[in-house]
Amino acid sequence: MSRQYTIPPCSGMAIEAMQGERITVIDTDGGQVADFFAEALDHAEEFLSAGVTIDCNESLRLNVGSIIYSNLYNPMFRVVSDDVGEHDLLHPCCRPEMYEFFYHNGQGHRNCLDNINACLNRSRAIIHPVNLFMHTKIDPNGSITVLPPLSKPGDKIVLQAEMNVRLGIAACSVAESSCNSGSCTPIKVIIDSVK
């Protein structure tokens, strides 16, 4: 049985997924980033950690078979399939201060930190999600450049939940740069039970 959700542009949604279920995140229009965060269903103090994921996989990239870990070093998700192969583990959720710093328009700007906190009913000061479909180029000298996502309309990544989780997913709100190809569009999520 499938459960389908559409996250409108510049907004977030909380979705529960049980251990063993598959989570398909689809870039419906192409070129859109999904800020993907989660907490353990019955223990909100255990949550997705991009830093621990980098540490445990010994990589700045996600590949098919990679594990996404919690802050307690427990497996949360496994990458089952991936149409794009380019996702970001470095950037925190966008927030008003980020918009103010880069674009001088932070006041009242929709942002992923507030959207994920609101849908999960939390007040985390910072969230480091997995930025699905986000294309960050890392140069040999250590500098980084955010490029337009490589995802085309309908491209997807499929994750398997390794524990019971509450997802907090945001369709990223950055229209001021190449992050979302200059405009914000929806993200679709499908939860499937695997028999």
**Contacts for 45 with CB less than 8 Å, ≥ 6 apart:** none
Position 194 scores a pLDDT of: 79
Whether the predicted model's global pTM rises above the 0.85 cut? yes
* 190 pLDDT above the threshold of 80: yes
Domain boundaries, the chain: 2-192
% of the chain residues with pLDDT over 90: 97
Task: Tell me the pLDDT tens digit for each residue of 111-152.
Answer: 999 999 999 999 999 999 999 999 999 999 999 999 999 999
Nearest to 122 by CA among 191, 47, 188: 47
Token pair belonging to 104: 């001088």
Token pair belonging to 1: 């049985």
Confidence band, pLDDT 50/70/90 cuts, at residue 165 = very high
Confidence band, pLDDT 50/70/90 cuts, at residue 195 = low
CA 77 to chain centre: 12
Task: Tell me the pLDDT tens digit for each residue of 64-100.
Answer: 999 999 999 999 999 999 999 999 999 999 999 999 9
* 191 pLDDT above the threshold of 70: yes
Confidence band, pLDDT 50/70/90 cuts, at residue 38 = very high
Where residue 95 falls (left for φ over 0; alpha for ψ -120 to 50; beta otherwise) is beta
Confidence band, pLDDT 50/70/90 cuts, at residue 192 = very high
* 4 pLDDT above the threshold of 90: yes
Confidence band, pLDDT 50/70/90 cuts, at residue 1 = confident
